[in-house]
Amino acid sequence: MKNKKNLILLIVFVIIIGFWAGRFSAARANNEGNLYSYMQLFTQILSKLEQNYVEEINPEKLITGAIQGMVKTLDPYTTYLTKEDFEELKTTTKGKFGGLGIHISSQDDYITVMSVIEGTPASRYGLMAGDQIIKVNGESTKGWSASKAAKNLRGPKGTKVNITIKREGVPEAMNIEIVRDVVKIASIPYAYKIKDDIGYIRITNFNATTDEDLHKALLELSEQNIKGLLLDLRSNPGGLLNQAVETVDEFLPMNKLVVYTKGRKEEFEKKFYTNDNYSFDSIPIIVLINKGSASASEIFAGSLQDWDKALIVGENSFGKGSVQQLFPLPMGNGIKITTSHYYIESGRCIHKERKRDSANKLVVDSSKVNNKQVFHTVSGRVVYGGGGITPDIIIKQDTLSTFEISVVRKNLFFNFAVEYIASHDIDKNFTVTDDIFNQFVEYINEAKIEYTEEQMDEAKEWLKNSVEYQIVSNKFGLEQGNKIAVKQDPQLQKSLKLFEKFDTLEEMFAYVADTTGVNK
């Protein structure tokens, strides 16, 4: 009976394939490698396997595998979605769920952490962008889709999940047990006057309220008479396209081109313009980006750069400039297909092509990337293409030492803060004294982390700052904690010095031209 059912499924599939092959073969008869011939080849292979394989096969499983293999030959963002994948997709769009607080992607056969959401269990337990999750509750994640990983990582608040991560520069895999919590994704977790007359706004993602949140933050900072604005989009994975456009509205007059899409079909080509006249552009603006800034955050940063409304500082962004459309399929399944790419006002394509190498590792396709492509902003300044956004001023982020990674890995900052707050009265003027620091060193020793005297001396200021940040964050929230963390942030501190050195954005542009020899 089961064989008969499988055979019927196979026959139906062959008929469907034959029908579509007939439609396509007429249109592509002159193309190299006739599609109809390959359709016949596929159905014959399927039939031979059904009839002759040593064990009884499941045609449904076989066909699903073939579909997944087919889309895998394209780009990382074109994805076949099973019915279960659709259910998972619905969960992620609700914006509130029990989990860890990470953005993940399936890369190099394993699940990779793309970014960590601030104030979530993942950030408290020290997960970092670039970490590979190689096991979940002891089960290997090799070959897992991002949706399958998300399903296994999420769970009710208060439950635990054990993950094993592999981190670059750390020879041994690390086991971490994390307690799940409700993840609420705040687009702008804090906005405040960071130093003297400089406003600071952290944008973590582009969700449904980002434009409203940004407008409110700008108004509040304007009332404090700021003379400069620092927008921090580092590790911002993007989000809603309309929010990228509407946030750019704050800095450009009406009817200015923000972004447009180009694809093979005309129906996927669209242009997006500003539609408000807020024009918050009377003071110099710096936008901070890094390799974790992607999609909508790249549209935002690149648009302000193209319209000469901001100086871009940091590291080259990720280069996620492709548009996916969701197409429904039978039986509740679907397919997400890359249909077009994003371009910004200067004509630069944001997308950076990636491919899989011989080891199945996802790498930038250098044959399709030309980082020396020259484009020009509205005022004629030179900017470069090649995918992603290239900053006007490149500032690298410091990396942690092996000793510092060990302290983070064991979640010592969070655990020490919890214990310290439980037995001490803390006010907003709290600082880490030498006595408190020595207590934390004892905590490190109890965790049996090995280090040299030289390593401890080099890490001392970072350790003190991290302890202070964690205690203040736990007690008074992320914004108060962030005011501590920025003290040990070289990209941010160097950006602040630019405000001290120059009074206008034009002076900053001139400085870039003088130091790089470009735009003269």
Residues identified as active-site:
295, 306, 320
Query: How far is 235 from 290, CA to CA, in rounded Å?
Result: 6
The answer to whether 77 touches 322, Cβ cutoff 8 Å, is: yes
Q: Which two tokens stand for residue 368?
A: 């399709």
Residue 488: what residue type?
Q
Query: How far is 209 from 221, CA to CA, in rounded Å?
Result: 18
Question: Which residue(s) pair with 110 in the sheet?
Answer: 107
Alpha helices by DSSP H, 307-452: 402-409, 412-423, 434-446
- Say how many CA atoms lie within 13 Å of 219 toward its Cβ: 7
A 10 A CB-CB count for 443 gives 19
Q: Which two tokens stand for residue 305?
A: 């750069």
Query: How far is 189 from 364, CA to CA, in rounded Å?
Result: 32
Question: Judging by DSSP bridges, how do beta strands 102-107 and 322-328 pair with one another?
Answer: unpaired
The answer to whether 224 touches 200, Cβ cutoff 8 Å, is: no
> Could you tell me how many residues make up the chain?
520
Alpha helices by DSSP H, 333-452: 402-409, 412-423, 434-446
Q: Which helix or strand (DSSP H or E) is residue 192 part of?
A: strand 190-195
Question: Which residue(s) pair with 183 in the sheet?
Answer: 97
Sign of torsion over alpha carbons 111, 488, 218, 183:
positive
- Say how many CA atoms lie within 13 Å of 282 toward its Cβ: 7
**Helix/strand/coil for 352:** coil
